[in-house]
Structure 1
Amino acid sequence: MERGKWNSVEDELWQHSRVGVIRASDLETLGIGQTTTYRQCQPGGRWRHLLPGIVLLERSQPTSRQRIEAALMFVRHDALVTGLQAARQYNLRAGPDPQFVHVLVPHKYCVRSSGFVVVERTVLFPSSYFRDGIPLAPPARAVLDGVRRIRELGPVRALLIEAVQSGLTNTTELRRELDTGAKRGTALPRRVLNEIDLGVRSVAEADAVEVWHQAGLPTPHCNAVLVDSEGVYAGMPDLWCDEVGLAWEIDSNEFHYSKELYAKTLARNSRYATLGIGVVQTLPSRLRAEPEAVIAELRAAYAVASARPRPQVHIKNSQPA
């Protein structure tokens, strides 16, 4: 077929596709025979074969959206995108990049996984949430389907903390989903949810709690609001040891790039000094790179704090870690 005529035909085919993704059976209905489709998907052709019976009307690597559309076309039946791919559609950026498209289908449909599509049949088929025209599993289900397949604590922490801190979901919804779903792959999510319930609001704070416990110091409080003897706000340290009045702040370099935020840090430290509060400041990177050194610093600071009178401050509200 001549180039000009091909361009005219492809313009029409794109109009019948989903972002360039189309079923081979639909191509046949539009007058493109199986032989032509097969030939165009071979090396040197104009198209790309994505999945059984699914074609991309260009040679480039498929985009994330095109992979999703191809997966939904391949499944045919009612289906929801879940897992890490759905988390990206919910605008979550933590966790590993999706390597496949994970879809849920009602248990009555016998559909097998193929290529980059992982098909999971489920008796408890959830209601759909649409984002940009894509049917997604509910946020709690989608996020947990993603982290269940991750075997490292760090990425699980990052994704669950971002999901909760962004307001996309909450620990109650996540726990409910964990309790009703399969038990495999739930140990790490449950551990992280326990940390979040205890007041941890970032990956750095979760790392800090681990290091603190390794130091063998009394159980700290996360993000406790401190007030002085007259009820005036004193601060809200990342971790607080109430027994001796010791604050631990995890301060990143990025935090101090802003003059305004740097001024707030100086004001905070001045309040601590005025009230007699001992404070340890640590960069987040050191929590993993130099845990033993950080532990030694914490123990030394705790010893100094124990040797002086406890400052006259108390917790307005607290979350024991």
Structure 2
Amino acid sequence: MNNNTPVTPRPLRHLGNDVRHRVLSAAQLREHGVAAARAAAQCRPGGPWQQLLPGVYLLHPGPPTSEERLHAVLLYAGRPGPEAAKGVPAQPGSSPGGRPGSSSRSAPPARSSARPSSPYGGVMVTGLAALALHGFGSTPGLRELDLIDVLVPRTRRLRSTAFARLIRAHALPRPELVTGVPVAPVARAVADAVAELSDAAAVRALLTEAVRGGHCEPASVVRELSQARLLARPHVVDAVDALLAEGRSLAEGRLYEMVRTYALPEPVWNVDLALPGGPHLGGVDAYWPEQAVAVELDTRAPRLGGPGGPQDDDAVWTEYARKREHLERLGVTVLHLTPRKLRESLEQQAMVVGTALAAADERDPAAYVVVLPR
């Protein structure tokens, strides 16, 4: 064989049974022996193929399905650019076509569960399309979306085009596979969707469904919104306030459920504690006076980009710690339960509370405290 020997094409007749075969990149077509000139000829008016995006082909003449559009966007965004071929590392600063503020986004390094040979190169669907794949009912269906958002490394030199909108990130989060499609985690997808929405009702609906539907905790959503610098928008701040109230209400409901489902003694709910004739000690969500055990829901949600920044969260945490230390010096056991733990491991949290109640007889008697309704 020499350089003039033609490459034997891999047959294309089997393609069409799977979306990964109906939508192929130029590189994949070359693996089947289809040169660029032949692919272009197939896409002429009246031809059997069509070019959906630069370098991405649909191997039938009809309208693309939602699945085919998703696959096309991922193939377009995931193909390695010149910077990947040359091994150029990511550099600080914005990239052409990037969203304002995207250079400041940070997240855990990408650890895609996809195989190393994945044609997507680590990119993932985000925004409204990702939320639709996650099963959100408050988002338009995939067929109704004019644009599909996809997260890419910020060094990627491709630009948004046609129905593919690229969102650049300093570091990609770990994707979740939904029906074989790499999708951004819910909290990140919500933030990317909110960045493109100006309707207050739509923003509130997304945030509420994220929490009420059990997709994620309020803190993770607020953290992503903060990192995206979206908390300066009044309609987003209003939606966040409603989100935090929603999250706390759900956590309180799970706390009630825990006590009753696992037959724990009934506490007094939502009370303030104080020394007799002395200072106020703080409020707790549940208190067992005979055992001197208190439960406090940790529903803090830091607004890292809002007024006061991280200092606000530090101040809140300092107050939490001060209250806990004061109560424990008085002999009161304080348990901090998070909404996530109550949602994911209710039985385990019931065991933690039950153990603290059972251990009360082995501890020194606690100081007398006054229980006041909130």
Q: TM-score if structure 2 supplies the norm length?
A: 0.48
1:178 to 225, 242, 260: 225
Aligned to 2:137: 93
* 1:37 counterpart (36, 39, 43): 39
Q: Which sections of structure 1, spanning at least 5 residues, go unmatched?
A: 1-7, 202-224, 226-316
> Could you tell me how far 1:87 is from its partner in structure 2?
0.4
CA drift of 1:28 comes to 3.0
Taking a change above 3 Å as real, the CA distance of residues 53 and 184 of structure 1, as seen in their structure-2 partners, is farther
Residue number among 26, 29, 54 corresponding to 1:27 in the alignment: 29
Q: Deviation digits for residues 14-38 of structure 1, max 9, x if unmatched? A: 4796151001232233123333321
Give 1:12 shift. Answer: 2.5
Q: Find the counterpart in structure 2 of residue 67 from structure 1.
A: 69
Using the alignment, how far apart are the partners of 2:44 and 2:132 within structure 1?
32
What SS does the corresponding residue of 2:13 show, helix, strand or coil?
helix
2:24 is paired with a residue of what secondary structure?
strand
CA distance in 1, matches of 2:231, 2:161: 22
Q: What letter matches 1:80 in structure 2?
A: M
Which AA in structure 2 matches 1:87? L
Measured against aligned partners, the alpha-carbon deviations of 1:201-224 in whole angstroms (never above 9, x if no partner) come to 9xxxxxxxxxxxxxxxxxxxxxxx
Which residue is equivalent to 1:81? 125
In the TM superposition, 1:261-300 aligns within 5 A as: none
- Measured in 1, the distance between the counterparts of 2:53 and 2:45 equals 16
Aligned partners of 1:78 and 1:182: how far apart in 2?
A: 25
Give the fraction of aligned pairs with identical amino acids, expressed as a percent. Answer: 32
Listed one character per residue, the Cα deviations across residues 94-113 of structure 1 (whole Å, up to 9, x for unaligned) are 13442211111122332221
- Contact 1:54 1:74 survives alignment (8 Å): yes
Residue 148 of structure 1 contacts residue 184 of structure 1 at CA under 8 Å; is this kept in 2? no
Distance 1:197 1:28, change over 3 A: closer
Change (3 A) 1:156 1:17: closer
CA contact (8 A) 1:85 1:98 kept: yes
Residue identity in the other structure for 2:164? V
Where in structure 2 are the equivalents of 1:214-229 lying within 5 Å? none
Match of 1:56 among 55, 58, 63: 58
Match of 2:330 in 1: none
Show the 5 A alignment for 1:100-249.
100-183=147-230, 186-199=233-246
In the alignment, which residue of structure 2 is the partner of 1:3? Answer: none
- Could you tell me how far apart the structure 2 residues matched to 1:185 and 1:27 are? 47
* Structure with a larger share of its residues in helix: 1
Using the TM superposition, give the Cα deviation of residue 199 of structure 1 relative to its aligned residue in structure 2, in angstroms.
4.1
CA RMSD of aligned residues (A): 3.0
Asked if 1 retains the 8 angstrom alpha-carbon contact of 2:19 and 2:71, the reply is: no
CA distance in 1, matches of 2:177, 2:22: 20
1:185 shift after superposition: 7.6
Alignment match, 1:231:
none
1:231-275 CA distances to partner (integer Å, 9 max, x unpaired)? Answer: xxxxxxxxxxxxxxxxxxxxxxxxxxxxxxxxxxxxxxxxxxxxx
1:46 to 2:48 alignment:
yes
| SS at structure 2 position matched to 1:43 | coil
Q: Which residue identity is paired with 1:98?
A: L
The answer on whether the counterparts of 2:50 and 2:57 sit within 8 Å (CA) in structure 1 is yes
Residues 186 and 141 of structure 1: CA distance in aligned 2, closer, same or farther (over 3 Å)? farther
Structure-2 separation of matches of 1:53 and 1:200: 45
Q: Secondary structure at the match of 2:172?
A: coil
Cα distance in 2 for residues equivalent to 1:40 and 1:185: 50
Name the counterpart of 1:275.
none
Aligned residues: 199
* Structure 2 runs not aligned, ≥5 long: 1-9, 80-120, 249-255, 257-372
TM-score, length-scaled by structure 1: 0.55
Distance 2:42 2:224 in 1: 45
Counterpart secondary structure, 2:34 = coil
Cα deviation for residue 142 of structure 1 reads 0.3
**Separation in 2, partners of 1:29, 1:184:** 48
SS at match of 2:15: helix
Q: Which of 11, 14, 22 lines up with 1:12 in the alignment? A: 14
Per the TM alignment, residue 133 of structure 1 is displaced from its structure 2 partner at its CA by 1.4
Q: CA deviation at 1:157?
A: 2.0
Aligned equivalents of 1:95 and 1:103: distance in 2?
16
Secondary structure at the aligned position of 2:166 is classed as strand
Look up the SS of the partner of 2:152 in the other structure.
strand
Instruction: Please give the alpha-carbon distance, in whole angstroms, between the structure 2 residues aligned to 1:116 and 1:110.
Output: 17
- Structure 1 127/187 Cα, relative in aligned 2: closer, same or farther at 3 Å? farther
- Asked if the contact 1:149–1:185 (Cα under 8 Å) also holds between the matched residues in 2, the reply is no
Write the distance in 2 (CA, Å) between the matches of 1:168 and 1:16: 30
